[in-house]
Homo-oligomer: A and B are copies of this chain.
Amino acid sequence: MNYPFPSIHSQQFQDDLFDYYYNQPGTMPGTIKIDSTAKGSEIVLIDYDANQATRLSNLTPSDCAAYLESPSVSWFDVLGLGDEERLLSLGEIFHIDRLMLEDIVNVPQRPKVEEHPQQLLIITQMVIPKEKGIGFWQEQVSIILGQNYVLTVQEEPERDCFNLVRDRIRHNKGIIRSRGADHLAYALWDAIIDTYFVVLETYRERIEELEDEVILRASDKTLGKIYTIKRELIALRRAIWPQREALNYLLKDSVPLISKPVRRDLKDCYDHAVQIIDLIEVYSELLGELMNVYLSSFANKTNEVMKILTVISTIFIPLTFIAGIYGMNFNTDVSPWNMPELNWYWGYPACLAAMGGIAISLVIFFWRRGWFKDMTMTKIKQSDS
Contacts and interface: CB of A to CB of B under 8 A. Distances in A.
Interface of A: 1-10, 13-14, 18, 20, 22-30, 99, 109-110, 112, 114, 161-165, 167-168, 173-174, 176, 187, 190-195, 197-198, 201, 204, 208, 211-212, 215-217, 219-220, 223-224, 226-227, 230-231, 234-235, 238, 264-265, 267-268, 271-272, 274-275, 278-279, 282-283, 285-286, 289-303, 305-310, 312-314, 316-321, 323-332, 334-335, 337-339, 341-349, 351, 368-370, 373-374, 377-378, 381-382, 384-385
B335 A324 contact: no
Given A223-B297, A310-B308, A29 B268 contact: yes
23 contacts: A2-B217, A2-B369, A3-B216, A3-B378, A3-B381, A4-B381, A7-B385, A13-B212, A18-B286, A25-B197, A26-B191, A28-B164, A110-B275, A215-B224, A215-B227, A234-B282, A234-B285, A305-B307, A316-B317, A324-B327, A326-B328, A335-B345, A337-B348
Can you tell how many copies of this chain the complex includes?
5
A341 B330 CA distance: 8
A60 to B, nearest CB: 28
Nearest to A378: B3
Nearest to A377: B219
Contact of A385 (B6, B28, B369): B6
B320 A342 contact: no
A7 B301 CA distance: 17
A18 B309 CA distance: 43
Interface centre among A24, A190, A296 (most CB of B within 10 A): A296
